[in-house]
A and B are shown apart, each in its own frame.
Chain A
Amino acid sequence: MHPMAIDRRAFLAGAGGLLASGLAAQGAPAETRAADEPLFAAARRSPDGAFSAAIFRPDGTDVNAVALPARGHDVTVCPVTRTCVAFARRPGNFAVAFRRDKGWKPIRFTTPPDRHFYGHGIFSRDGRILFATENDFEAGRGCIGLYDATAGFRRIGEMESHGVGPHDIALMKDGRTLVIANGGIETHPAIGGGRTQLNRATMSPSLAYVDTITGDLVERHELPEGLRQLSLRHLDVGAGGMVVIGGQFKGDVTAGTPLILRHRLGGLPKTVELAADLSPRLRGYISSVAVDASGEIAALTGSRGGIVLFIDVATGRVLGERSLVDVSGVAPSVGGFLLTTGKGEIASGASPSQGATMTSSTHWQWDNHAVLVS
């Protein structure tokens, strides 16, 4: 039986009265704030080595923060309640839900013992279900864990990710289809701290689209032999349903090694043409991807190269680049993108046409990703 089957019935049965029941009980954020003040969330490490996740202003001040038991990775935001969920970095198995409202008690939840998180998740459009990328490590199989946000993030089932090593995940504009970057890399938490690649010679990255209602595979694309070493990691969805995917190349990076793909359902993945020196300067590594509010411009960070790259979502044309040491987190913001670095900087307003303004230099080491909360 498909592991999702039982839970899907419960999910569908409750879907009609959704807002009237679970989410309404949770309530909308009570705290008020200046309407034009954007807030962001990210995981981070303090100088004394403690890990936390925070909702913060562009000037680096915290609105709220929660301690994490180990290093976090990404944060995802509920589109209805604005609840933030910070995930453990792989091979961690914890996640913590928190809100900007300090009066709201954080909820910590975990994967089952035979699964771990990959650091990413996404809420359903109605905010009821949290989908998280996970590793069924004994089987070497990727899966998507389903957590009921209206019931303390109880795990209610799982679906296939249709690939190995699922990493980032997003919801398509139809509100029903998930797009999953299957990195193709097999790991096991008991080997090399869960970060050692066990299948270098046979890695098979893929991009999969899965129907959240039926659990069925909608479309799947394996990368061709020449791109077999391009581990698909991070993605975001732009205008017209164009998915922008950033990869990390696991072989020697040479001029023109593709690192970025674009894909629209029904078509074939297309590589973004990069200037000859760009892939080596990026050291074959894209850390994070975010599309702006218009859906027309994507920003991709490369922490190893200290580069922020902007591309036109529709055409794949590179619009420009900026340098920033250890940059990784990127989130859409007013007038461009907010950037965070492992050296503590927060910069706002980065766009193809202008450099960002450094809005804060904090003592935090900001982790891989940043997201816009509201």
Chain B
Amino acid sequence: MPTFRSKLTALALVAFIGAGPAASAEQRAATDFDHALVARTALEKHIRPGFRRLTSAFAELQQATGSCEKQPQFRYARLRPVFRKAVLAWGRVAHLNFGPLAAENRYDRVFFWLDRKGIARRQVARALKESPSEYRDAAKLAQSSIGVQGLPALEQLIATPAEPGENSSFRCSYAQAIAGNLVNIAREVEAAWSEGGIWSERWLTPGPGNPTYIQPSETTYALIRAYLDNIERVRDVELMRPLGLAVRGRDLPGPFARSDLTMAFIGARITGLRSLIEDGGLAKETTRTAKARGSPAAEQAMKQVRFELRLLTRLSTPLTKVPDFFGSSQRDEAIALGFPLKSARFQAERAFSLTTDLPMGFNASDGD
């Protein structure tokens, strides 16, 4: 009869299997998660369409700012609809902060937030006073402080009134430069993810020569982390702050608060995260693997994720249409988003943990 110690030794042998090469497609069993399929689906159905939409929205913004210098009394209110569209397009891809969006500080150049100490706000205000020439040129602006070249900086130009004696042509040129910079960034990211683009190649061909993704599971891991980290961020940072639910939280506004687009942005974030799960192929492949493994727990968990995301869409959509939402009597209704956001994260972690064999453990998921 095996002793307790010998059982433990057997456990040890199981536990200390060296990390071998990933199984090839031919070797993959039906119970294995199809990482290659999800990588391709996510790229084609979620990543590329999202960044195409972003480039297009930023290009519209650029076009709209282009007419301001011809109109001495240009009203920045005219920019608001295209700015809103740009914010929504950004909200739908902001979770894809890996690959080309993470490289060269592109994410922060588009969206420097939370600016808790108001550094960027002060930099933009100073620029409006001093009219530095490099802020009139998109290429030169791209070399400037990260906080002055993206959407929050443009929001400040659109949403704040001109100071007496302010150089109005500068505000216009600066807005044009920001919009041009945003278009350049979006085009770079879109190109990197396009057919034959450098990140597209890396994403689809994991292996020993690949500098970023060596095992096929690593692309899945990137997608799962994007989902888990961002759904948590929406709840704990972007939503909780304006609701004043965090300790000492009432003093900091939500994202795009000055243009009253916080809820619209959060709605777009939920749409983007739902698209990642649904269009990106994670839900389908997780469910398939759960069934193949005979894991009703994983299947049920993914069902609940999909339900919570549908619920979040249903709950958030009407709130995005309320003017001055956080100043309105309806603001407390946003609290209803809290639990589904938490559940959509928790259940997803459970479903992925049971099907992908990726590290979702106590320390692997939430170490320090």
Contact = CB atoms under 8 A, between A and B. Distances in A.
15 contacts: A90-B368, A140-B117, A188-B116, A191-B246, A252-B98, A276-B211, A306-B19, A325-B359, A325-B361, A326-B361, A345-B11, A345-B15, A347-B12, A347-B15, A355-B16
A356 B361 contact: no
Contact of B236 (A90, A193, A252, A303): A193
B257 interface: no
A285 B367 contact: yes
Given A255-B211, A280-B214, A358-B11, A304 B16 contact: no
A127 interface: no
A113 to B, nearest CB: 11
Nearest to B361: A326
Interface in B94-129: 98-99, 102-103, 105, 107-108, 112, 114, 116-117
Contacts of A304: 359, 364, 367
B108 A200 contact: yes
Contact of A255 (B16, B107, B212, B361): B212
Interface string A42-76: 00010000000000000000000000000001000
A219 interface: no
Contacts of A323: 15-19
B114 A303 contact: no
Contact-residue bracket for chain B: 35 or more
Interface of B: 8-9, 11-13, 15-19, 98-99, 102-103, 105, 107-108, 112, 114, 116-117, 146-147, 208, 210-215, 218, 221, 232-233, 236-237, 241, 246-249, 252, 359, 361-364, 367-368
A360 B359 CA distance: 21
B143 to A, nearest CB: 14
B257 to A, nearest CB: 15
Interface stretch (A30-38, A261-269, A361-369): A361-369
Interface of A: 45, 73, 89-90, 119, 140, 167, 188-193, 196, 198, 200-202, 233, 251-256, 276-277, 280-281, 283, 285, 287, 303-307, 321-328, 341-343, 345, 347, 355-361, 365-368
Nearest to B19: A323
Contact of A341 (B102, B232, B363): B363
A326 B363 contact: yes
A368 B362 CA distance: 9
Given A90-B368, A252-B98, A196 B12 contact: no
Contact of A356 (B12, B117, B212, B215): B12
A277 B208 contact: yes
B212 A358 contact: no
Contact of B103 (A252, A326, A360): A252
Contact of A283 (B13, B16, B147, B221): B221
Given A303-B364, A324-B15, A326-B362, 4 more contacts: A281-B215, A304-B364, A305-B19, A343-B361
A193 B368 CA distance: 13
Given A191-B114, A303-B363, A343-B361, A119 B248 contact: no
B262 to A, nearest CB: 15
A368 B368 contact: yes
Contacts of A252: 98-99, 102-103, 212
Contacts of B11: 345, 358, 361
A115 to B, nearest CB: 14
Contact of A191 (B211, B212, B218, B237): B237
Nearest to A307: B19
B108 A361 contact: no
A307 B18 CA distance: 9
A221 B91 CA distance: 38
A361 B8 contact: yes
A345 B16 CA distance: 12
A200 B218 CA distance: 23
Given A198-B114, A252-B102, A281 B359 contact: no
B231 to A, nearest CB: 12
B365 to A, nearest CB: 8
Contacts of A255: 210-212, 214
Contacts of A140: 117
Contacts of B246: 190-191
Nearest to A345: B15
A324 B361 CA distance: 12
B236 A357 contact: no
B286 to A, nearest CB: 19
Contact of B233 (A196, A280, A287, A307): A196
Given A201-B112, A342-B362, A324 B236 contact: no
Contacts of A287: 363, 367
A287 B146 CA distance: 30
Contacts of A355: 12-13, 16
Contacts of B361: 303, 325-326, 341-343, 365
A357 B368 CA distance: 26
A119 B16 contact: no
B19 A358 contact: no
Given A196-B237, A252-B98, A368 B211 contact: no
Given A196-B236, A361-B11, A322 B18 contact: yes
B363 A201 contact: no
